[in-house]
Amino acid sequence: MTLRAGPGVRWFLLACLGVGGAWVAVRTGAWARVSERIAPAVPKPPRLSAGDFPAGASAPVGGFASLPDRPVRLGLLPRGASAAMLWATGGAGAEAPGRKAGLFAAAYALDAESLAFSREEDLRQALLSGGDAGGVDMAALTVDRLAAWWPELRDAAPRTVMLLGRSRGQEAVAAVGAATIAELRGRRVGTYRHGSASYFMLWALSRAGLSPSDVVRVDLPSTVEAGAYLREGKVDAVAGLTQDVAMAAQARGGAVLASTADAPHLLATVIVVRGEFSARYPDAVRRVLRGLLEAGNTVAKDPVGGARLLGQVASYLGDPAQAVAANPPADLMENLSFFGLQGEAPVTYDELFQSALALYEKFSPEGRSVSAEDTRELGPLRYVAGKRE
């Protein structure tokens, strides 16, 4: 008796042979070679951006214009140290009462204005846009934000020129139903992922042996809404401004678990200038540094005036005098040690930037191949301090 394969069996065997042949072709690379011959891949055309060229390419030849023909625009997030910026400009905004009477105008013949932002994202965009396009020429950013945003800010060629201040208790982690950071495992933890408080939260988690995957992360619309989210029970813990989150936690029987007073060298706010602006108007940058250092000394000695201006733009900080005390302006000696020019600092700018960069590379490695040295320009600070190269 002879068995004959029906049409269905023959088609099945042919299908198996086809699948097997295709698998062999893929494994050996033959399929890729044939595909390349039939339909060669078209390379993507290169994309040009401002960051592909030196920031100073458009600077004047033979001499520099002393100052721009418009106000220098300084961007800030209302924090204790930014009281020095407000004092130097006489307030925030072009129409701020008494702005012309600010220190910049009175002592440095510099027309400058401060612009306050409530969200770090908005300040980043303003720096990227630049003062000529309605943004800012210089901005007060924490070092961790500069590291996190480096790919986005590349076209602005940002350069750090001075230390404005350090947070010594202005940011905190508060919780309800947890007495320690370790007890946040599996809990809902709210952070504004573009804010420096989120960087502090990562530090706090690491100290407790936790990773971001050990908690349920909840994205906040902004840092200033952290207290509201905790107060309304939308999260079990938040990272935000200390006075805000402390009051929210207390209202529900919770408490502050950690603050930047536990890590006073972690959140450092620096002045960052657009590369093109620095190249075109180096004298303006030097005047800004001198004015901010003098304003910082004034606010440190008598914080009443700076605190008043701070309270006008950021009522959410609570007592502005306490905000200044929790994030005081840095003086010249702190600047010199922070940038390794004189004396010693527990954490230098280069160390802080590189560690933050390495951390964010774990989450998103693209576009962060930069050294700390390439992100700073210490010439203006040396000039102001009377130091030669």
Instruction: Indicate if the pLDDT at residue 361 is higher than 50.
Output: yes
Domain boundary among the residues 262, 292, 326 is at: 262
Determine, yes or no, domain membership for 6: no
The confidence band for 97, taking pLDDT boundaries of 50, 70 and 90, is: very low
Q: Is 142 helix (H, G, I), strand (E, B) or coil?
A: strand
- Give the domain range for residue 194: 171-262
Residues 186 and 161 in one domain: no
**Higher-confidence position of 332 and 364:** 332
Residues 137 and 258 in one domain: no
Residues 179 and 162 in one domain: no
Mean pLDDT of 316-341: 95
pLDDT of residue 3: 47
What residue type is 233 in one-letter code? Answer: G
Determine, yes or no, domain membership for 49: no
At 233, which CATH number? 3.40.190.10
Task: Report the DSSP beta bridge partners of residue 214.
Answer: none
The confidence band for 362, taking pLDDT boundaries of 50, 70 and 90, is: confident
| DSSP state letters, 225-274 | GHHHHHHTTS-SEEEEEHHHHHHHHHHTT-EEEEEGGGSTTTSEEEEEE-
pLDDT of residue 278: 95
- Note the pLDDT tens digit of each residue in 20-66: 555 555 556 555 565 556 655 556 666 655 555 566 556 666 655 67
Q: Are 336 and 385 in contact (CB under 8 A)?
A: yes
Q: Dihedral of CA 313/317/323/326: which sign?
A: negative
Residues 328 and 253 in one domain: no
**Higher-confidence position of 65 and 337:** 337
Residues 73 and 195 in one domain: no
Residues 315 and 379 in one domain: yes
Number of domains in the chain: 2
Determine, yes or no, domain membership for 186: yes
Instruction: Tell me the percentage of the chain whose pLDDT exceeds 70.
Output: 79
